[in-house]
A and B are shown apart, each in its own frame.
Chain A
Amino acid sequence: MSIKETVLKQDPPCTSTLGNYLWRDPPQENKWADCVHCGMCLESCPTYEQTGEEQHSPRGRVYLIKAVAEGKLKVDEHFADPVFSCLDCRACTTACPVDVDVGGLIEEARGQIRQGMPLKGWKKAVNWFFLHGVFPHHNRLNSIGTLLRFYQKSGLQKVVRKTKLINIMPKHLTEMESIMPEVKSPVRKKYDSVIKAKGVTKHEVSLLTGCVMDVFFSDINESTITVLTRNGSDVRIPRNQTCCGALHVHAGDREMGRKLAKQNIEAFENAETVIVNAAGCGCMMKEYTELFRDEPEWRKRAKSFEDKVVDISKYLHDTGYEKPKTMLKTRITYHDACHLAHGQRVRQEPRDILLDIPGVEMVHMPKSDSCCGSAGIYNLTNPEMADAVLKSKMENVPDDVEMISMGNPGCMMQMALGVQKYGRNQKIVHTVQLLDWAYQKEERDSSHGSPKD
């Protein structure tokens, strides 16, 4: 099907085209206008580091995105390759002398590609199944969680691994299976919609429980709730919240992104503060206005929503938290999740929290803010590149640490894979988990009256 024919079938009809961008919501000129092609971004880019090819660099991608608008290139598979090979890690925005929003441009360009060249065959099916069929639906995710729990607990996992049945999966999926976290019960099922603060209520916050987070990493949600309530916050869990839409927007499905964004904006309408413990979700939610350029009313609501969104580490840092009183003796290092460090510019806050735990010794990780290759579902869609990026990341993990702390579940899965694959032995933890454990230890110690160690 030619591009023109596809346009005719698109709904809504496009009202404002830009060069060879023929569909709704094209990349915006003001985003690339600041780029003067200086190249300061090159070395920050994981895919340029791996390939040395300029079309796989931030500067090159911006140049190509601009070239389509100028009518020099078409939206076709040659354009799609560099645009979809981007990890959307935003390291280039940090390196850029003028903050060119490369990530935003990439997401908009992907929107055009997906409208102009819709996925076909099994790719379409898989994409649709996860992005439309599963992530936005808590009950379905929970069912999958239940199935996985059954898979892990019933011994089926062992059977599959032992009988080599597992070998029928592609290699990278086999690797993912092996590091799948133990699935626990989601907090949305476990708790009421309001969990009261311990002691006096100082703040009221609402928690994004996340889609995957609450199924695969519900213990991080548990830790988040414990830490918040311990420090005087009532925690609300709005029931009608949904997936943040980051995976959809990264994949170019901006329509679904908008739908989910609207549901969340409504769900958190009455919240004063929206706490997020997944960097990718937080970054997406802080960019909701980008999705509503031609819906002024929603744009306004998105703006006021954005301002309420805050990462758990920044929230604790800004509003204050009790420092744990017992020793939690451990050597750790910290990995900056891209969407926390580059996307939200939260770097020091989690480090400060970790260092406030007595006994925690922090070892510097060189290039701590370089991508681990997880990048949403990039490790599933571009396994070779993701693996090369992970390899570089693991080379920078110091040898003599027991744990690697971070603030994003996607990174946690990927880094766990890295630890396993490259024969390392670090435990992967979320920043807020470590704080929670320190509190737990403090409580245990005080109830046993044991001396501090």
Chain B
Amino acid sequence: MAVQKINTTDKHIINLAGIVGGPRSILYKKADLLAYDCDGFTIHKHLPKAVVFPKSTEEVSKLVKYCSNNGLPFLARGAGTGLSGGAIPINGEVIISMVRMKKLISVDLENRRAVVEPGFVNLKLTNSISDKGYYYAPDPSSQYCCTIGGNVAENAGGAHCLKYGVTTNHILGLEVVLPNGEIVEIGRNGVLDEPGYDLLGLITGSEGTLGIVTKITVRILKSPEGKQTVLAYFDKVEDGSQAVSDIISAGIVPAALEMMDKTAIEAVEAAAFPVGHPKDIEAVLLIEVDGIAAGIEEQVNQILEVCRKRNVREVRAAKDEAERGRWWANRKTGFGAMGAISPDYLVQDGVIPRSKLPEVLSKISQISKESGLRIANIFHAGDGNLHPLVLFDARKPGEIDKALEAGSACLKACADVGGTITGEHGVGIEKRDEMRFVFKDEEIFAQTSIREVFNPNNLLNAGKLFPTPGRCVEIKKELKSLT
């Protein structure tokens, strides 16, 4: 492919193209940009100024310096599968797409770590090391296509994070391009517990507002010797929720403990990976245990016993790996499956104490009735991470706003019982205002002050993660006048 011809008089486009060079390394025409006006969150849309595809950390650094020096807003984007709008260019940003930096740089089995570029797809890491008996634990449902760089930005979770922890628990080192273009390394050599502040923890989950990650050292784990998945059907949501609590109380730590309600079951059964869940049940639980092969059967028996005590209609372990795979494919494609029963959906991401499950679920069903919109529930029940999916039709006037309100009300319900507004999808644009459900203005201010240290001009991914200033600015003034 030849070097791209740039046909514009816009000097910024010409200069940015000069930095990346090579074939098709910048997109700037409207038709080419349209596909970048949103990510997995489709309610807010805005065209970027351009999309550039760097191939190295140095190129990222040069691009960032250029944007910074010229006052151009910019942001990083991976596969664009995020569900809270973190990669949407709401300020007409220059999108720095990381997808061509997709190498697996090194695997160090002895020290159980791997180094990847940010555009490397999550599942590819496990696929690259599984034959040697290792895997990468965080498994967001979009793991088939989402990038590890994006996972770091959002501190992504997944079904198996109940036992193994979310992304932040698996990050050992990062190379980051700061908003002024400086390249820094955090967590050198992937050694655990560096002295000083936990900067890895700070960057992980900062939703692309503190810097652009260009290299990631992750922890890899030995694949469990054995695993088994149990499927349980309940006629009452309360029984299902209670079984969840009972399993944890019994001292079992499942690798995953997932639940879907009736509406969610309707969707996954109408979609591409049906497994024959009965249509009339209220809840299905998927419970996976893993570890040393010898202990698996005993744990499975315990789980079967707990479920039976809670009036389960049917409960059984997967008869083989193929069946286990089908159950998980059905669950993991659950969000996309909403397309089969609704033109649009909005997924929320609240977290609550497990014991509040029945209470919050009934509250959500009340919100659904009041809004007139159906709400499906697919969630990581084990860690109390709810995903209410508000179903709506964007073509109907006013329905987007109704959906947003219903989604917000679901988060309020979570916050009210002592929970929080996001478990793994991030705040992005979607939950900016709901941050006020869980943080006081001063607390928000404390956090934006940290952002200012890294990103003083707020050119990098502005307008995400925190509510728009308003009162924060006033508080800042007040605080300044006090000093």
Contacts and interface: CB of A to CB of B under 8 A. Distances in A.
Contacts of B31: 55, 64, 73, 76, 78-79, 81
Given A43-B144, A52-B97, A98 B337 contact: yes
Contact of B271 (A63, A78, A99): A99
A38 B343 contact: no
11 contacts: A36-B42, A52-B97, A53-B53, A55-B34, A73-B31, A81-B31, A95-B144, A96-B336, A97-B271, A97-B335, A97-B337
Q: DSSP majority for the B interface?
A: loop
A161 interface: no
Contacts, number: 107
A58 to B, nearest CB: 11
Q: How large is the interface on B (under 10, 10 to 19, 20 to 34, 35 or more residues)?
A: 35 or more
A52 B99 contact: yes
B32 A78 contact: yes
A153 interface: no
A354 to B, nearest CB: 21
* Most chain B beta-carbon contacts within 10 A, residue among A51, A53, A99, A384: A53
A36 B392 CA distance: 11
A67 B339 CA distance: 18
A55 B333 CA distance: 23
B145 A37 contact: no
A73 B34 CA distance: 9
Contacts of B335: 36, 38, 97
Contacts of B30: 73, 78
A52 B100 contact: yes
A96 to B, nearest CB: 6
Contacts of A445: none
A33 interface: yes
Contact of B53 (A33, A39, A52): A52
A452 B334 CA distance: 53
A70 B32 CA distance: 17
Given A33-B339, A64-B35, A99-B271, 5 more contacts: A36-B335, A60-B35, A73-B30, A79-B31, A97-B340
B172 interface: no
B40 to A, nearest CB: 6
Contacts of A99: 271-272
Instruction: Please tell me the size bucket of the interface on A.
Output: 35 or more
Contacts of A63: 34-35
Interface of B: 1, 24, 27, 29-32, 34-36, 38-40, 42, 51, 53, 79-81, 97, 99-100, 102, 119, 121, 142, 144-146, 271-273, 333-340, 343-345
Contact of A40 (B1, B144, B343): B144
Given A55-B34, A63-B34, A97-B335, A39 B271 contact: no
Nearest to A385: B1
Interface in A379-395: 384
A67 B146 CA distance: 24
A37 B142 CA distance: 12
A53 B102 CA distance: 13
A384 B1 CA distance: 7
Nearest to A45: B145
Interface in A27-46: 33-43
Given A38-B336, A98-B271, A98-B337, A43 B24 contact: no
B258 to A, nearest CB: 16
Contacts of A81: 31
